[in-house]
Structure 1
Amino acid sequence: MTDAYHTQPDSQNGAKPDMTQPAPKERISLKKMLPILVIVAVAIAGFFLLGDKLNFQTLADNRDALIAWRDSNYALAAIVYIAIYVAVVAFSLPGGSIMTLTGGFLFGLVAGATFTVTAATIGATAIFVAAKTGLGDALKARLDGSGGTLAKMRKGVEENAVSFLLLMRLVPAMPFWLANLAPAFLGVPLITYVWTTFVGIIPGTVVYTWVGSGLGDVFARGETPDLGIIFTPSILGPILGLSALAALPLVIKAVKGRKALPLEE
């Protein structure tokens, strides 16, 4: 009887279940994928339908009508501008730069930058949530269970999310739409993503809005705005300084990690 007793299943003798078995992988259903599929479809359609129509010349040709519309109902103009900007970002449509210039042109530096940063953050959050819901959580679970370089990279980004996201926003080395999607696949928390996006895009937005606020004189001279102003030392210097500050925690952690490594005999 003793032998028979000991051959009973673990669940009957109080033993803990075997935790060494990998957790079942989360399935990626069509329902979860639907939001990101809609975004991709609209982005493709926008690329072919809009193309280069949202450009400086379009703004120049319609400047009088836009000013009259703003003057007739400022609040409505602000709401419509924010809504369009949210859509441009959320669906990765072309024309982000010209939209920022338009914000400065219509609403001035302070109001224009405020509207643009708010709208861009909302749009970026929308695409982040769609990607995280559709693919991000499932991909995160698979990376956690697989180990290897990708899992380590995801863990590293997650542990240094604030510095990573701020640096990514301050130094736009990757397209804005990719910067919106990548954190969703790397396990970045939503609240961290939102506030770092809001703060990180302020410097660049202010510069382009500032250019836009002076478009009246540019139009009068029949010229085009110099978007390369962001690369002048007086503007690029402070942005690089903020980038270095954002990267400082990563550097300190890397140095401490090297010092903590055991010496080889």
Structure 2
Amino acid sequence: MLVVIDVFTTHYTSDIVDSAIDSLQSEPTQGFIYITLIYIVFTVFLIPGSVLTVGAGFAFTQASGGPAYGVLLGTLSVLTGASIGSILAFLLARYMFKSAVESWIANTASAKPGEVSPARRYASLLSSSMESSGFKVMFLLRLSPLVPFNVLNYVAGATRISLWDYIKALTGIVPGTVLFVYIGSTAGSLSSAGEGGETLKLVFLVVGGLLGFVGVGIVGKKAKDELAKEERERNEREAGGGMARSEP
């Protein structure tokens, strides 16, 4: 089922990118708004947006004629759509579907008996860390490429994190967004570089993409380590509180 959904989404997204390129070439402002609105819909309805992010980089680069403007405009469009969509999803989870999201988190089972599912673990970490480090935890979760962006929006809405901390933590999606938009921008640029014999440009684009992956990987690893540290400290605080209550 997941494979079918992924194939359908990829095919549908490719049609959107084709339409966006046509729209951007004729009406740049309209094309920008078009991609932004589509990203809002993808985010709210839990449709993976990585293909659309890459497609945005490709579309804006083709329309603007260069990767620099393509990355800049593509990143702005995706970040705008992702931010608005994530805030809408957060508000829906908090004020309309909170009980449903909490029930889903509670019933999400792991593959092995006795283990805690990632969704439940992240929700527990968010809920218990709001007063001391809510923004920090949410920001680190946003940095980690292993945490599903769309799912986290709804999980966060069911916790006690403030809307302002949640919005500030959206800055954590910037590195990954820039990388995926950059990858999309190079898709057209690599072709033109090869045809024109621009070897230096080709090398720059490839090396830049590899360095981007390494950078995001390092950031994700550090975010994972910080989350583990935060969870250990939380467990220690809870254990200390339990011991204090048990003393006569």
Q: Same fold (TM over 0.5)?
A: yes
Provide the residue aligned with 1:100 in structure 2: 53
Tell me which residue corresponds to 1:80.
Answer: 34
Q: Structure 1 residues 98 and 244 mapped into 2: Cα distance closer, same or farther (>3 Å)?
A: closer
Do the aligned residues in 2 keep the contact of 1:166 with 1:246 (CA within 8 Å)? no
Identify unmatched segments of 5+ residues in structure 1.
Answer: 1-46, 141-148
Greater Rg over alpha carbons, structure: 1
Q: Which amino acid aligns with 1:127?
A: A
> Cα 1:49–1:133, aligned 2, differ >3 Å: closer, same or farther?
farther
Q: How much has 1:154 moved relative to structure 2?
A: 6.0
Give TM-score, length-normalised by structure 2.
Answer: 0.63
Q: Is the alpha carbon distance of 1:130 and 1:212 closer, same or farther for their aligned partners in structure 2, counting shifts above 3 Å?
A: same
2:12 match? 54
Contact 2:138–2:166 (CA<8 Å) still a contact in 1?
yes
**1:82-135, Cα deviation, whole Å (9 max, x unpaired):** 1111111111124x1121112212231112111111110110111110110024
Residue in structure 2 matched with residue 12 of structure 1 by the alignment: none
Match of 1:204 among 152, 176, 180: 176
- 1:165 corresponding residue in structure 2: 138
Structure 2 residue ranges without an equivalent (≥5): 61-69, 103-119, 195-205
Structure 2: distance between partners of 1:172 and 1:92: 16
Match runs of 1:36-185 below 5 Å: 47=5, 50-54=8-12, 58=15, 62=18, 66-94=20-48, 96-107=49-60, 108-136=70-98, 155-159=127-131, 160-185=133-158
Q: State the SS of the aligned residue for 2:129.
A: helix
Please provide the CA RMSD for this pair. 4.3
Q: How far apart, CA to CA, are the structure 2 residues paired with 1:89 and 1:138?
A: 18
SS at match of 1:54: helix
Match in the other structure for 1:143: none
Identity of aligned residues (%): 22
Change in CA separation of 1:89 and 1:189 when aligned onto 2, cut-off 3 Å: same
Cα displacement (A) at 1:169: 0.8
Q: How many aligned residue pairs are there?
A: 202
- Report if the CA contact (8 A) 1:129-1:184 is conserved: yes
Determine the structure 2 residue equivalent to 1:190.
Answer: 163
Over 3 Å counting, the alpha-carbon distance change for 1:114 and 1:245 in structure 2 is farther
Distance in 1 (alpha carbons) for counterparts of 2:9 and 2:188? 25
Q: Distance in 1 between matches of 2:6 and 2:180?
A: 26
